[in-house]
Amino acid sequence: MAVEGAVDFPTLDGSKARIGIIKTRWNKEDVSNLVNGCKKALKETGVDDANVFETEVPGAFELPYAARLLALSGTVDAVVCVGVLVKGDTMHFEYISDAVSSGIMNVGLQTAVPCVFGVLTCNTEEQVKARSTGKHNHGESWGQTAVEMALLRGEALGGAQKPSMGFGAPVEVGSTAKSSGPKIGF
């Protein structure tokens, strides 16, 4: 039975998916639990261990930059950014949460590589534990989301073909030749 408010995922075949995981060093134990949940889901959807690329950054603020580098490398079909932010007494939490969520979303939109927002933004340590352990480990749904979005990307872009700014293969200006690449959406 699904957790109330949880996403129901279809059966996913991630056997050809290449997934990047970028994790933070802050809140190391909780982040490790989330990454383990993500890897569990990747394995359950058929992603080969050799197709899971993992790296780490100091904190959540660095996640979007690292995600952009990984997305632009062409080595992954989706990226999961994993971190934990806990609200404190200052505005730091709000600034970092906003910057990181916007940054991760922008990386996905700008690179055409899905970037999963796997950052817990909690008010208390208890909320973090409840969402990073046991049967409610959010890392599992983040792994499934990465595979589903990688498959969607592959369907939309014609499998392993890399996008060319989203409009097919380039054509020389002034040429009467038609683009030989796939035309997506327009």
The residues that are catalytic are 92
Instruction: Please give the full DSSP string across 35-98, using - where no structure is assigned.
Output: HHHHHHHHHHTT--GGGEEEEEESSGGGHHHHHHHHHHHT--SEEEEEEEEE--SSTHHHHHHH
How far apart CA 82 and CA 79 sit, in angstroms, is 10
Structural contact between residues 97 and 61, judged by C-beta atoms closer than 8 angstroms? no
Tokens coding 151: 């498959």
The token duo for 17 is: 């998916």
Write the DSSP symbol of residue 3: P
What length does the chain have?
Answer: 186
Number of helical H runs and strand E runs in the chain: 5, 4
